């Protein structure tokens, strides 16, 4: 097992919590959603889920969730999305992207494998390095607002990841990144909604 320095251990301890709630700036809160592990052939798999309530109508939320070129604006793992081949709201559309996880870049393609506008999107992707990604986003209208649930399953290639980081570190990093991305998405969506006087 790899020996971790003090800075890395601090990061591990920090990864188990999220920042303080805006109304309670004095303490961090534990992350709520559990992560499940499974073994793949030479890979480490994580399944993470998070949700949020957005003060925006479902159509606006879905519009931004399917604007794939804007993913780097809110998703902390996306570095760039240089190419989208096909319509944003159609199964079979392919998306080329560069993602960053644990300070390693992963390039590859994702495809919209299921879509039910404006309620559901499922993306399935593979990196050039052999990693896999399944991301499902569910949108539920609540009056003029929207509840969003994101479930992400990563299967990381053992080469660059499995030999360097232990499971807890990967689990907490993926969980923290998904939670942070959802907070960013919420802020972006809510900032784009006009305020009625």
> Percentage of the chain with pLDDT > 90?
55
| Contact (Cβ atoms closer than 8 angstroms) between residue 186 and residue 168 | no
Using a 10 angstrom Cβ sphere, with 0-12 exposed, 13-18 middle and 19 or more buried, the burial of residue 111 is middle
State the pTM of this model: 0.74
Q: In what order do the strands lie in the sheet with 145-157?
A: 36-40, 43-54, 145-157, 132-142, 120-127, 104-116, 94-101, 78-85
The two tokens of residue 104 are 């390693």
Q: Is the pLDDT of residue 19 over 90?
A: no
Main-chain phi, psi angles of 186, to 5 degrees: -55, -50
- What pLDDT does residue 196 have? 60
User: pLDDT digit string (tens) for 121-173?
Assistant: 999 999 998 889 999 999 999 999 999 999 999 887 666 555 555 667 777 88
Q: Where are the domains of the chain?
A: 32-191
Average pLDDT over residues 165-184: 85
- What pLDDT does residue 118 have? 97
Average pLDDT over residues 100-118: 92
159 vs 184: which has the higher pLDDT: 184
User: pLDDT digit string (tens) for 31-71?
Assistant: 434 333 344 444 556 789 999 999 999 999 999 999 999 99
Find the distance separating the first CA and the last CA of the chain, reported in whole Å: 59
- What pLDDT does residue 156 have? 74
Domain 32-191 -> CATH class? alpha beta
How far apart (Å, rounded) are the C-alpha atoms in residues 78 and 19? 21
- What pLDDT does residue 160 have? 53
- What pLDDT does residue 112 have? 98
- What pLDDT does residue 193 have? 73
Ranking 32-41, 89-98, 109-118, 123-132 by mean pLDDT, the lowest is 32-41
Average pLDDT over residues 8-21: 42
């Amino acid at each position: 097992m790899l020996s971790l320095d003090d800075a890395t251990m601090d990061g591990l301890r920090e990864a188990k919590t999220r920042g303080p709630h805006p109304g309670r700036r004095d303490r961090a809160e534990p992350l709520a959603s559990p992560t499940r592990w499974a073994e793949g052939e030479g890979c480490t798999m994580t399944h993470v889920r998070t949700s949020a309530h957005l003060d925006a109508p479902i159509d606006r939320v879905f519009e931004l969730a399917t604007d794939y070129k804007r993913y780097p604006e809110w998703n902390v793992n996306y570095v760039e999305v240089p190419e989208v081949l096909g319509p944003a709201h159609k199964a079979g559309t392919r998306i080329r992207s560069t993602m960053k996880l644990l300070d390693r870049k992963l390039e590859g393609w994702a495809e919209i494998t299921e879509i039910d506008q404006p309620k559901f999107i499922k993306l399935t992707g593979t990196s050039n390095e052999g990693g896999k990604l399944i991301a499902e986003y569910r949108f539920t209208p609540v009056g003029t607002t929207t509840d969003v649930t994101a479930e992400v399953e990563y299967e990381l290639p053992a080469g660059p990841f499995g030999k360097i980081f232990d499971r807890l570190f990967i689990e907490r990093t993926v969980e923290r990144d998904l939670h942070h991305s959802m907070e960013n998405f919420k802020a972006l969506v809510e900032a784009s909604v006009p305020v009625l006087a």
